[in-house]
Amino acid sequence: MREIVVFSGSAHPRLAQSICRGLGVPLSAVDITRFSNDCLQVQLQANCRQRDVYVVQPLVPPTQEHLMEMLLMIDAARGASAAQITAVIPHYAYARSDKKDASRMSLGGRLVADMLLTAGVHRVLTMTLHAPQVHGFFSVPVDHLTALGLLAEHFRDHDLTDSVVVSPDLGNAKTATQLSRLLGLPVAAGSKQRLDGDTVVIDAIVGDVAGKRAIILDDEILTGGSVVELLEKLRELGCVEAAIACTHGLFVGKAVDRLRNHPMVTEVVTTDTVPAPSDWPELRVRSVSDLFAEAITRVHAGESVSSLFDGVDPAHGPPQLKLPFDEA
């Protein structure tokens, strides 16, 4: 079997190191140089010839910088005669740019997919795409992982009496329904209208939340504006408190202050697909490194990745992680 070689850009080396510990391989070094004209140059510091190369890089701010790093690492691996190159993108930020909802609108999700293919990638490994249809922008295999099982494990340690899983919008309701089934809870969803990139209005909640403790589930949280708007609507309808869960906790702008000090919020839990804010020690972070390490092991061995997520009815969305309590 060919050797595995793993490289990381500057976006999230800690996650890459954790993935390598799970794989039992070292994280290979990368020399990234910036010239006086601001151009980047990458040199991989390990032999790639006829090896399976994995480039770990979530697309987090500064997103364009990290995207260019990843493209250059892929290009360098291709030029070094790698047998197969897999882009491990725990957070694919351009999944938000998935449709033309106005005249002359760019499709960033498809463009970045094309750029990755042009650079030389053979496979993409990602997690919880904001718009699952972005999967179809790629003409190479895409393994789309999920952190729902990890989030469900977190909340199973809680007292779930009078709890309800709440989606901020109807578009995310299927995923919230999957979590509610894993936890044995009812589900509710907000009716959201987005006025612009940072402003939303939630004018109704579909489902019973009066007297309940909410578990708000979203795929990613940026500024926290949607969540705060949802919290206010939940309070109007008699919800007593809320825990917040998401896969990608970017928490940019005023997000930390908005959520950390909100009187209704009991806790916020996320994963380490992106680096956690350094000024939020109370934030609960569940690691996805073992899940990515197992997925890489299976890809390398030619085994099924989807079987990692057996145990949930696929008719209700993408298969999810099989939990230990499902085997009881």
Task: Give the residue numbers marked as catalytic.
Answer: 192
Residue 33, helix vs strand vs coil: strand
Take residue 187 and report the two structure tokens written for it.
């589900």
**Whole-Å CA distances, 161 to 114, 116, 152, 164, 215:** 48, 46, 15, 9, 12
Q: Are strands 213-221 and 163-167 parallel, antiparallel or unpaired?
A: parallel
Residue that the structure tokens 């804010």 belong to: 277
Q: What is the dihedral of CA 146, 301, 116, 112, to 10 degrees?
A: -10
Output the furthest CA–CA distance in the chain (Å, rounded).
Answer: 62
DSSP state letters, 221-281: ESSSHHHHHHHHHHHHTT--EEEEEEEEE---TTHHHHHHT-TTEEEEEEETTSPPPTT-T
DSSP 40: E
